[in-house]
Structure 1
Amino acid sequence: CTVRSPDHFFASVTTLHSSKTHTLRTNSDMSSHYNKCLAVAALAVASSTCRHDAFAFAFAPRSINNPQFGSTMSRFSSSSSLRASALEELSKLTTLSIDSGDFDIIESFAKTNLITDATTNPLFVSQAGSNGDKRYEAMVEEAVSYAKIESCNLEGCDNVEDTIDLAIDRLSVNLGVEISKLVPGKVSTEVDIRLSYDTEKSVERARRIIAMYEKLGVDRKRVLIKLAGTWEGIQAAAILEKEGIECNITLVFSFLQAAAAAQAGAYLISPFPGRILDWHKVKSGRDSYSPGADPGVVAVKRMYAYFRKYGYKTICMPASWRPSRGFDVEGAEVDEILALAGVDEMTIPPNLLEKLASMDASVVNKNCDAEADAAVCTDPDFRLTKESFESYWNTDGCGKDKLEEGINAFTAETEKLSQIIIGKF
């Protein structure tokens, strides 16, 4: 049964009882066909041999309120089958954000009403700069024009490097503004990663980004400023939070970074369990872990427990996922996600959201619980200073290695984007 409407609702049953395929297609006159489709779907339920297109059901928006659908179609709108999906079940426990800069993909997932927020990073902005899609090209052209008007005159630009940086910030904002039209919640935009060790300049750039958002009609409460989890980046967040600019401390690989961010009053942190796992696999020589013993999962649960025990309001939003049990195990790609179900928030790339949409809700259990995790936290609430942070940091192999690696990777993407922008000038 296939139904298509102006808002892209579709559901399909690919194999029905007696191996017959029934197809209904509609355009403008949807209502006359709804009951027919439901009749076919009912036949599918009665059949033990039917199969359902999980991807199709996952993308059905809940906005359809035709009375002929009733509660049955509301289940279709967020389920991977006639039963609830793992994605729907997870969304009941954890706020879900999509990690993507692709407008079409973001819109498709947003229509499920299971995704509320979106995160971007220098890679997504760089991809937007070289995408070739006319929508992204228009954003690049506007960013270049804006930078020229703000920084240049008939005799040229006062400082070419500053002008390029302004264009990059503007492009990041343009991308975020468009995404803010697709999701109801917050959009994360990153300060130039090359400023990760400069508190003052990070604060200046963050203020500029927020000012651009507000001039384009997006309230600052809908924007999270992403800053790398260096001591300097965390201190920039402390300053910005006092000005009502909420911050996302990213590239978090250690408990030390998480504690410092919470003490600084950061709105949110993004620990990367997958990359933590990568580091431990190399050091231990192991190829796999059980999800509960995955070093990345253990690290994130420790951070979450600390926040909850000592009453910090900082949100824990893990990102960057790996298969705990190894790449050759079916379903392992969402091991870490399922092991952290119940944490405050998660940002998940489209391919893993699709995987969750294809899985049954029964695989989801609440593995992070604020009260229970706080009760088992054994870490003291030791107040960190720059000196104590750096002293502990020098002994943190995973944190140091992965933070440097992450900054270098995003710096490379930013430099690539700079060259694209220079070409546009």
Structure 2
Amino acid sequence: MSLLEGLREHSLVVADTGDLDALERYRPQDATTNPSLILKAFELPGYQPMIERIIDESRREKIASGDVVDKLCVAIGEQICKVIPGRVSTEVSAHFSFDTQASIRKAHELIERYAKSGISHDRVLIKLASTWEGIRAAEQLERDGIHCNLTLLFSDAQAQACFDAGVYLISPFVGRVSDWYKKRADQPYAPAEDPGVAFVKGICERAAAWHYDTIVMGASFRTTDQVLALAGCHRLTISPALLEQLDNLEGEVSSRIQTDLPRRAAPAPLSESTFRWRHNQDPMANEMLADGIRRFAHDQQTLESLIDQRLAARG
């Protein structure tokens, strides 16, 4: 049995890509994307006919490049939905990370675009940054029947606020957490001691002990060792490169997450001031959240610039 097959016995595997060839090969349940991955997909040969069609339509309709990005993201999501049986995550622009109402409006616009393409809202997860404002937007969207995926999650305060809000799914980051600590410690970590692994494992076990309904999906993996160290986490979103490595290696995989923990009374929901204070006390989480938002916003701007260039080339 391959390690990938063994992993599937303990966790639901999600593909961290918009590459249709990779999705066809590994057949994940779900697929998750972000602005960086959409930017990569923009250059993939298989998407070029669709991109050219969208560019031509947008030029005729005089659509702004920001709206073209939304149209493109939904079109890519539509193609992904044809390959996977589950859900595709589509991200609200990072520029709205601190604006609850704008995030809610954009989420509804994306869902409406999917509906016009024949994709039901229950095939889509709206991705939002795990800021206080993003979590509040997700809380309202969940009430509206729109499930959300809260990303750029680096602190226990962010996870707890998402649990409190009844968010459908959260994506705590493994690799970026580990990168931060490795850079400062100037030493490698064994899988069992990896700070990113320990962080996500703690969130999984807290969700189990307090019986939260929120799905925990480990994300941002750097190595197969990190992936295997979180076998048993509800879901794991994995890049094609790591999926290939896992598929080519044989071995046994065992669950590393304790789920049979004694039930505990859930804590009182975090207030805004408590959330901000606890998140503020974690230097890594503060730095990585801000950096992640800036990176996604930069990739959004790069994508808009590329679209503007193609629109201009058509006169």
TM-score (norm 2): 0.94
2:71 corresponds, among 162, 166, 170, to: 170
Q: Distance in 2 between matches of 1:390 and 1:222?
A: 32
The residue that corresponds to 1:271 in the other structure is 172
The residue that corresponds to 1:370 in the other structure is 259
The residue that corresponds to 2:34 in the other structure is 121
1:397 corresponds, among 269, 280, 283, to: 283
Deviation string, structure 1 residues 198-232 (Cα, Å, up to 9, x no partner): 11111111111111111111111111111011111
SS at match of 1:96: strand
The reply on whether 1:87 has 2:14 as its aligned counterpart is no
Q: 1:209 to 1:142 in 2, by over 3 A?
A: farther
User: Identity of paired residues, percent?
Assistant: 39
The residue that corresponds to 1:261 in the other structure is 162
SS at match of 1:304: helix
1:109 corresponds, among 26, 48, 53, to: 26
SS at match of 1:420: helix
Q: Distance in 2 between matches of 1:214 and 1:257?
A: 31
The reply on whether 1:209 has 2:110 as its aligned counterpart is yes
SS at match of 2:8: helix
Q: Distance in 1 between matches of 2:104 and 2:177?
A: 28
Q: Distance in 2 between matches of 1:423 and 1:317?
A: 36
Q: Distance in 2 between matches of 1:397 and 1:143?
A: 42
The residue that corresponds to 2:229 in the other structure is 339
The residue that corresponds to 2:299 in the other structure is 413
SS at match of 2:89: strand
1:192 corresponds, among 83, 93, 107, to: 93
Q: Shift in Å at residue 359 of structure 1?
A: 1.8
Q: Distance in 2 between matches of 1:258 and 1:275?
A: 16
Q: Shift in Å at residue 122 of structure 1?
A: 0.4
What amino acid is the match of 2:19? D
Q: Distance in 2 between matches of 1:238 and 1:214?
A: 22
SS at match of 2:218: coil
> Which of these two proteins has the greater Rg computed from alpha carbons?
1
SS at match of 2:18: coil
Structure 1 unpaired stretches of 5+: 1-83, 158-162, 323-332
Q: How does 1:26-425 map to 2 (within 5 A)?
A: 84-110=1-27, 115-131=28-44, 133=45, 135-148=46-59, 152=62, 163-285=64-186, 287-322=187-222, 333-362=223-252, 364-372=253-261, 381-425=267-311
SS at match of 2:231: coil
Judge conservation of contact 2:155–2:279 (CA < 8 Å) in 1.
Answer: no
Deviation string, structure 1 residues 227-247 (Cα, Å, up to 9, x no partner): 011111111111111111110
Q: Shift in Å at residue 274 of structure 1?
A: 1.0
Judge conservation of contact 2:197–2:229 (CA < 8 Å) in 1.
Answer: yes
Q: Shift in Å at residue 145 of structure 1?
A: 4.5
Q: Distance in 1 between matches of 2:87 and 2:107?
A: 16
Deviation string, structure 1 residues 373-423 (Cα, Å, up to 9, x no partner): x66x8x962411111111222211111111111111111111110101112
SS at match of 1:245: coil
SS at match of 1:244: coil
Judge conservation of contact 2:210–2:266 (CA < 8 Å) in 1.
Answer: no
Q: Distance in 1 between matches of 2:267 and 2:295?
A: 33
Q: Distance in 2 between matches of 1:382 and 1:299?
A: 21
Q: How many residues align structurally?
A: 311
> CA RMSD, aligned part only?
1.8
